[in-house]
Structure 1
């Protein structure tokens, strides 16, 4: 017969011991983290208070022009430029990415040169160059080369408006950056997917459309969303060629009322609001893509 001292502990006794051990554990206190958080909050409050009470900033002017008709029209132009640049640039970027992955050395070299060139030139330089294209290209002529047969002819000044020039500059740069994003997404897909598609009888185009691209979207969408934010902010650079965007309108208004800082604050708030809305939309898009 087993004595009480040698009897194995019951499950209830073991649970009591585990509970007692958990109660003994003391969580580690992160004093440095708490101090840094308090300092950051106080710093933000101080900056906010300093800006709100600054006698040299007319906040009533900011409120007056925040929903001004001209400002809203400039915002609309900025959004149009962003959407067009991203849509056209993404199509061009996909073509460039496929060319970079092609076995043809000629296609690979052309795509690589395009990406190198338009990633290397500062966007503001490219915008000024495209905006002044009419200085040395006077006409656009479509016809048969080395003959007098002309199907269409138009003056460059009529076609290349500041808006068109701005979109062209944004597309050239955005497509170069997005092509690397798309290429990275395509390379992230396992090569076995190509072999499986070939075994099912799918050709190259069908494999890319139905198998590779849907899987690559999970890798492509996050950096693509970041590129949209960069393109939105880059639209401010078209003010150098009077592209009619938000910053161009804000600067033109400040030239009349001499409220430079106030108009820059109005433009900055609108940029931040649009980016905040896009960030929320991007979160749901990424979550929806991850579920597939």
Structure 2
């Protein structure tokens, strides 16, 4: 483990995983908001909204994430001139968040829609009979009940998002996978220890996350 006894290598390792956590947190928040809105569109009585939601899901679920990230950098930034920060590193970070959140939102949407489908239709019909609009019915009656059944899928999506965030390294952000590559290039005699440290760190983060969401899903599950 002499590699990580070097303060520079240790700082790079910690910085790499800090970027991963930042990417995951920011993208998860954005994807949740977009995904819930898309799920509302997919169950909307308005055909145009249903079509837009279905199109978003079908496009992003069937497009490799690498292409989405490349489009954000080479398409939005290099070609269209979209700049999200004057700092090059932060700009790449936010471009990565845009790509990750728009991609992940498609999976959040389908998870939420499956939860909405578990809510008895009588609940929505009763709400509409009381004079609530579609949006009010969804926000006050349906979504609070649907959320309880999608906790476990949300956990799986978050874990996948954390692992997918390493792809942002392809557009220049020095996150964990890029740090690992640099350490491997400069320490060829320590390939296995370096790999084990990085793999172990991901496992240490994601395994407890999976158990937490499993526990939360069981705790909040609707008893039938």
CA contact (8 A) 2:156 2:210 kept: no
- DSSP 3-state at the match of 1:262: helix
How far residue 79 of structure 1 moved from its aligned partner, in angstroms, is 0.9
CA contact (8 A) 1:62 1:266 kept: no
Question: Structure 2: any 5+ residue segments left out of the alignment?
Answer: none
* Structure with greater Cα Rg: 1
Q: Which residue number corresponds to residue 169 of structure 1?
A: 99
Q: Which residue number corresponds to residue 177 of structure 2?
A: 247
Q: Which has the higher contact order (CA 8 A, sep 6+)?
A: 2
Normalising by structure 2, what TM-score?
Answer: 0.86
Q: Which residue number corresponds to residue 273 of structure 1?
A: 204
Q: Does 1:206 align with 2:136?
A: yes
How far residue 63 of structure 1 moved from its aligned partner, in angstroms, is 6.3
CA contact (8 A) 2:85 2:91 kept: no
Q: Which residue number corresponds to residue 216 of structure 2?
A: 285
How far residue 268 of structure 1 moved from its aligned partner, in angstroms, is 0.7
Q: Does 1:91 align with 2:21?
A: no
Q: Which residue number corresponds to residue 262 of structure 1?
A: 193
- DSSP 3-state at the match of 1:219: coil
- Aligned counterpart in structure 2 of residue 138 of structure 1, from 67, 81, 87: 81
Higher helix share: 2
Question: Structure 1: any 5+ residue segments left out of the alignment?
Answer: 1-59, 141-153
How far residue 62 of structure 1 moved from its aligned partner, in angstroms, is 6.7
Normalising by structure 1, what TM-score?
Answer: 0.68
Q: How many residues align?
A: 220
How far residue 89 of structure 1 moved from its aligned partner, in angstroms, is 0.3
Alignment of 1:222-237 (within 5 A): 222-237=152-167
CA contact (8 A) 1:115 1:177 kept: yes
How far residue 128 of structure 1 moved from its aligned partner, in angstroms, is 1.9
How far residue 252 of structure 1 moved from its aligned partner, in angstroms, is 2.0
- DSSP 3-state at the match of 2:148: helix
Q: Which residue number corresponds to residue 42 of structure 2?
A: 100
Alignment RMSD? 2.7
